């Protein structure tokens, strides 16, 4: 690991003994930070996809999505605990736990849609009521997990080490590489699903015109449920990966990251799937860069992200890849 990163002077170009770091070292810090930013961005992207898909299809800001990510991390933790003795706590065990968590949390997403959101959609309730319901779901998940875990931190026991590839001073661990590759695989799978399958086509059609879809014989409710399944499963994948990567999870881990992922979805253009992917990576990189700036630092990191969100909403609410749209009352 590079010295300059983990010592008491993370924001200046100095190493731990206070000497100015060599130019090469500065370059490698930059590369390291880009890697960190990409990983953070991968998590943001995976969560942002769920926000964006649900928003695109029913115009609901699914406030509980950050908590879905948190639940995903805990389900993955539980699955790894049960499977660990048989499959080991290496990559195989983690991959299986990830898939189990994605499936179960996907079902949870469908259940939430059925129980909490669909009755309101059927009643054509105002969008504010839907939003408040989402806040209620978020409260339920958040406090439910808090009660179940007694508010304690849970540590992911994995056998992943810090081995990796070193090029000069740059050190990238295999874990980091696998995280980014896994995210890329999930995104490609999603892209294929949305653009190449009949279900994906139905989703895109519903986002355009629900009533026309009903006339064409598409089961709108089921397709919306499927969207919740996919979005929640992706968030769960991010949750398990974050748990593995950072090592510990707790019940409030979903709140701030949920906000950030929403920011990412808006940056990319909400409702747009490539936009959510791009937005997540952009936000991850911006935030990592922001943390390195002397006047921001980690204490003001969240203010920096929310500041970006607010500026963006004011000046370019459609995001990078979004289409402009007029709110229908």
HSE-up of 166 (CA within 13 Å, CB side)?
6
286 binds another protein (CB under 8 A): no
- Phi, psi values for residue 164, rounded to 5°: -175, -165
Helix (H, G, I), strand (E, B) or coil at 1: coil
Site for another protein, residues 37 to 56, rule: CB under 8 A: none
Q: Based on CB atoms, which residue is closest to another protein, 83 or 121?
A: 121
**Is position 151 an interface residue for another protein (rule: CB under 8 A)?**
yes
DSSP 219-282: -HHHHHHHHHHHHHHHHHHHHHHHHHHHSEE-TTHHHHHHHHHHHHHHHH-TT-HHHHHHHHHH
Q: Indicate the residue among 3 and 140 with the shorter CB distance to another protein.
A: 140
- Binding segment for another protein (CB under 8 A), chosen from 9-17, 215-223, 275-283, 309-317, is 309-317
Q: Does 302 bind another protein (CB under 8 A)?
A: yes
In angstroms, give the least distance from the CB of 117 to another protein. Answer: 9
Residue closer to another protein by CB (options 238, 309) is 309
Can you tell me the distance from the alpha carbon of 11 to that of 200, in angstroms, rounded to the nearest whole number? 45
Choose the stretch contacting another protein; rule: CB under 8 A; options: 21-29, 129-137, 157-165, 207-215: 129-137
For the chain, what is the radius of gyration of the CA atoms?
Answer: 20
Residue 309 sits in the site that holds another protein (CB under 8 A): yes
Closer to another protein by Cβ: residue 93 or 225: 225
307: contact with another protein by CB under 8 A: yes
How many H helices and E strands in the chain? 13, 4
Select from 3, 15, 33, 140 the one that contacts another protein (CB under 8 A).
140
Q: How far apart are CA 238 and CA 264, in angstroms?
A: 14
Q: Does 147 bind another protein (CB under 8 A)?
A: yes
- Which of 83, 130, 74 lies closest to 105, judged by CA? 74
Q: CA-to-CA distance for 147 and 284, rounded, in angstroms? A: 31
* 123 sits near another protein (criterion: CB under 8 A): yes
Residue 137, interface with another protein (CB under 8 A)? yes
d(CA 69, CA 224): 19
Should residue 255 be labelled a site residue for another protein when binding is judged by CB under 8 A?
Answer: yes
Q: Which residues bind another protein (CB under 8 A)?
A: 59-61, 63, 115-116, 119-120, 123, 125-129, 131-133, 135-144, 146-147, 151, 255-256, 259, 262-263, 266, 299-300, 302-303, 306-307, 309-310, 313-314, 317, 327, 329
């Amino acid at each position: 690991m590079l010295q300059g990163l983990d010592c008491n002077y993370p924001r200046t170009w100095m190493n731990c003994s206070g000497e100015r770091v060599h130019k090469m070292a500065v370059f490698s810090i930059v590369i390291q930070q880009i890697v960190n930013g990409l990983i953070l961005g991968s998590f943001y992207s995976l969560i942002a996809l769920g926000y964006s898909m649900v928003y695109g299809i029913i115009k609901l800001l699914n406030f509980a999505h950050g908590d879905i990510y948190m639940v995903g991390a805990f389900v993955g933790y539980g699955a790894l605990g049960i499977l660990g003795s048989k499959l080991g706590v290496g990559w195989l065990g983690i991959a299986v736990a990830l898939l189990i968590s994605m499936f179960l949390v996907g079902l949870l997403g469908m259940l939430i849609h059925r129980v909490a959101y669909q009755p309101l959609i059927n009643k054509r309730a105002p969008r504010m009521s839907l939003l408040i319901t989402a806040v209620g779901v978020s409260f339920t998940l958040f406090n439910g997990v808090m009660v179940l875990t007694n508010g304690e931190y849970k540590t992911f026991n994995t056998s992943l080490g810090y081995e990796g590839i070193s090029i000069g001073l740059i050190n990238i661990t295999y874990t980091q590489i696998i995280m980014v590759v896994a995210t890329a695989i999930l995104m490609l799978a999603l892209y294929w699903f949305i653009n190449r399958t009949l279900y994906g086509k139905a989703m895109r059609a519903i986002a355009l015109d629900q009533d026309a879809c009903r006339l064409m014989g598409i089961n709108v409710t089921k397709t919306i449920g499927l969207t919740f399944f996919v979005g929640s499963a992706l968030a769960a994948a991010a949750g398990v990966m974050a748990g593995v990567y950072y090592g510990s999870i707790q019940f409030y881990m979903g709140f701030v990251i949920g906000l950030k992922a929403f920011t990412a979805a808006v940056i990319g253009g909400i409702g747009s799937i490539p936009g959510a992917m791009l937005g997540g990576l952009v936000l991850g990189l911006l935030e990592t860069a922001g943390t390195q700036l002397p006047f921001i630092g980690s204490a003001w990191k969240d203010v920096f992200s929310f500041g970006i969100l607010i500026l963006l909403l004011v000046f370019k609410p459609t995001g990078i890849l979004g289409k402009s749209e007029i709110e229908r009352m």
